[in-house]
Structure 1
Amino acid sequence: MLIGEVARRAGVSARMLRHYESLGLVRPSARTEGGYRQYSEEDIRRIFHIESLRLLGLSLHEVGRALDDPGFEPSVLVEELTRQTQERIAQETELLTRLRRIGAAEPSGWEDVLQVVALLRALGSKSAGKRQRAALSAVDEVPVEVLVEAALGEADPHVAGALRWALAHAGDDGAALLGAGLGSAEAAVRERAVRALAEIPGEVATALLRGALTHDDVAVRRCAAPALAERGVDDGVPVLIGMVVEGVNDTDAADALGALASDPGSAERIATGLTDCLADGGAEPSVRRRLAQALADVPGPVASRALADLSYDEDRAVALTAGYVLRLRNGR
């Protein structure tokens, strides 16, 4: 078979076939009397093999090794090609993400494009100071998706605070995206998500915080409950009471309960919940003392009776705490 027919059959140009021959990848089995190259079926199969290996990303040098080296191990090469391909995909994905972010910012000119690029670069800087300054400048300049991604991945507390501030000014879109962070497999990401939601006003964030009260992660629940209390939502009362009992941010939890207790409808529920923790008599002295402190700002007879009982507690510290709280209440 002559070179022109081989080229048509293999989908390779005659010029490329001559190049393969110059590299020793394929050699015509014979020549005609006129000196034209003749290729056998075996030659054509080798050409197809060459093209198949090139499609996998092999260089022509690697193709030659693969076809002629008896000690060649395909698995090693395939593993290396897989690694290289994954790296290329990661690089292309990063570029695509960057382009989408720039497009989402709707730049009106090259100055806007360059500004967005500079902010994106600063948000990914190794310098915490640069990231913090970028976060404080990013409101309305970069897509909210970028802020959310940065907030969920930020470990520095100062930068994280700046990002939460930026998200608080980004509206409901940021809240909705942060909601997905609550489902992360990483505890740190879940905590960052709920802390950011706690600072975002509006019904969307409030609804997500309400849902977080039933989250499997206790840290998420303990962050959501005080945040809801600040909004006047008492759904998290059981979580707050649990925090008092367990001594986890109990002062903040007690303050939140006291604020909610200013509503008469919530006050009785809170007082009952706190006193129920004393009912079985099994609470440790430290727990009874924290409960007495939490009852301080809860109005009503239920709280007063519980404090009166605690003022005679067998533990001196508990009795003194309850007595002091009672005197404060009576002096109001």
Structure 2
Amino acid sequence: MLIGEVARHSGVSTRMLRHYDALGLVRPTGRTAGGYREYSAEDIRRIFHVESLRSLGLSLKQVVRALEDPAFTPSALVSGLIRSTEDRLAREQELLVRLRAIDASAPTGWQGVLRTVELMRALNSTSAARRQQAVLARSEGASVPAELLAAAVLVESDPHVAGALRWALARSGGDVVAALDAGAHSQDVDIRRRAVRAIAEMPEAPGATAVLADALGDPDTTVRGHAALALGRHGVAAAVPTLVAMVVEGSHDVDAAEALGTLFRDPGCADRITTALVDELAAPTADSATRIRLAQAFFELGGTTAQKILHQLAQDDDRAVAFVASALAGVLEERSPQDRADEDS
């Protein structure tokens, strides 16, 4: 088969076939009477072998070694290709993030593009102080793309910089929940924590309630806690089981009790919360520390039912539990006449 026919059937250009010949990679085994290259069936098979290896990202030099050197093992080669491909994808993903951030900033000129690039460089600084300064300084001036801030929030480990980023993100005016949604479903638990915490600080943003409600089923207690506190403070009843569990476990239990107090004002939640807390008090695993936290939760609820339960706990066999419950019951009793007066006025 002549070179033109090989090119048509294989999809490899005649120029590349000549290049293969010059390298000694695929040399036609025959020549016509006129001196033209003539490829045998074996030559064509070798061409397809070469193209297959090149499709994996091998250089022509690597292809030669793979086909000619018996000691050239596929495992080592493929492992190297995986690493180089991952590095390339990471660089391209970083570039894509930069381009999207610039596009989101809707620059009217190259000065706007350069300012966004400058901010991105500052956010990649090894200095936490510089990263924080860049966010706060830029937030006082031109708007910062939500996509750029969200990407920075998801990877920021310094608590002060992270706080500045969340503050700026909430004021960016962009679709912050959409920008953080992928992070809220990441396989990396640290990224999920950062994403959900950021969304929890802006629960009124469009789409936030749905993402936070979904986070209540997260396997990580910290993620669930961020979501439950935000939802509880905004009257979402689905947060009740997680908030009760936080009280029992002592994980931000004061905040959780306050959120339960907010939910308790909804008649539809009151009985559910009371029943859940009473059940936890009766659990065999409710040790002294747990009963004290539950007593404090009842105090946050207030009302006659809470007073009754606190009076019961004031008779607890554990002196510490009894002392705390008695003190809390006394505060509620002092507060109740004033509460009734306020209601009557």
> How far has the Cα of 1:103 moved from its partner?
2.1
1:284 has 2:287 as partner: yes
Show the 5 A alignment for 1:256-267. 256-262=259-265, 266-267=269-270
- Local SS of the residue matching 2:14: coil
Name the CA distance, whole Å, in 1 between partners of 2:30 and 2:239. Answer: 87
Larger Rg computed on CA atoms: 1
- Local SS of the residue matching 1:103: helix
- AA at the equivalent of 1:247: G
> How far has the Cα of 1:116 moved from its partner?
0.8
Show the 5 A alignment for 1:69-108. 69=68, 71=70, 73=72, 75=74, 76-77=76-77, 80-81=80-81, 83-108=83-108
Count of aligned positions? 324
- AA at the equivalent of 1:198: A
1:174 has 2:176 as partner: yes
- AA at the equivalent of 1:299: G
Mapped contact 1:167–1:200 kept (Cα < 8 A): no
TM-score normalized by structure 1?
0.78
> How far has the Cα of 1:146 moved from its partner?
2.4
Decide which moves more: 236-245 or 257-266.
257-266
Tell me the residue number matched to 2:343.
none
> How far has the Cα of 1:195 moved from its partner?
0.8
1:123 has 2:89 as partner: no
Name the CA distance, whole Å, in 1 between partners of 2:330 and 2:311. Answer: 10
Show the 5 A alignment for 1:1-332. 6=3, 11-13=13-15, 17=18, 21=22, 39=37, 41=39, 45=43, 48=47, 52=51, 55=54, 69=68, 71=70, 73=72, 75=74, 76-77=76-77, 80-81=80-81, 83-137=83-137, 141-171=143-173, 173-202=175-204, 203-262=206-265, 266-279=269-282, 283-332=286-335
Name the CA distance, whole Å, in 2 between partners of 1:240 and 1:27. Answer: 74
> How far has the Cα of 1:281 moved from its partner?
6.9
Query: Structure 2: 5+ residue runs without aligned partners?
Result: 8-12, 336-345
Name the CA distance, whole Å, in 2 between partners of 1:65 and 1:220. Answer: 51
Mapped contact 1:229–1:257 kept (Cα < 8 A): yes
Give CA deviations for 1:110-144 in whole Å, capped at 9, x if unaligned. Answer: 10010111111222222222222333355564432
- AA at the equivalent of 1:173: D
- AA at the equivalent of 2:326: G
- Local SS of the residue matching 2:134: helix
Name the CA distance, whole Å, in 2 between partners of 1:220 and 1:18. Answer: 58
Name the CA distance, whole Å, in 1 between partners of 2:69 and 2:293. Answer: 78
> How far has the Cα of 1:109 moved from its partner?
0.6
Decide which moves more: 134-143 or 214-223.
134-143
Give CA deviations for 1:173-202 in whole Å, capped at 9, x if unaligned. Answer: 211332333322222222212211111142
Mapped contact 1:168–1:201 kept (Cα < 8 A): no
> How far has the Cα of 1:82 moved from its partner?
5.3
Name the CA distance, whole Å, in 2 between partners of 1:275 and 1:54. Answer: 68
Name the CA distance, whole Å, in 2 between partners of 1:317 and 1:111. Answer: 66
- AA at the equivalent of 1:125: S
Name the CA distance, whole Å, in 1 between partners of 2:193 and 2:323. Answer: 37
Name the CA distance, whole Å, in 1 between partners of 2:19 and 2:289. Answer: 89
Mapped contact 2:32–2:38 kept (Cα < 8 A): no
- AA at the equivalent of 2:130: K
Name the CA distance, whole Å, in 1 between partners of 2:263 and 2:293. Answer: 18
Aligned identity (percent) is 46
Q: 1:41 to 1:211 in 2, by over 3 A?
A: closer
Mapped contact 1:169–1:200 kept (Cα < 8 A): no
> How far has the Cα of 1:225 moved from its partner?
1.8
Q: 1:289 to 1:108 in 2, by over 3 A?
A: same
Mapped contact 1:150–1:163 kept (Cα < 8 A): yes
- Local SS of the residue matching 1:210: helix
- AA at the equivalent of 2:72: E
- AA at the equivalent of 2:239: G
> How far has the Cα of 1:17 moved from its partner?
4.5
Mapped contact 2:29–2:39 kept (Cα < 8 A): no
Name the CA distance, whole Å, in 2 between partners of 1:320 and 1:225. Answer: 30
Name the CA distance, whole Å, in 2 between partners of 1:127 and 1:309. Answer: 56
Name the CA distance, whole Å, in 2 between partners of 1:186 and 1:236. Answer: 23
- AA at the equivalent of 2:155: G
- AA at the equivalent of 2:43: R
TM-score normalized by structure 2?
0.75
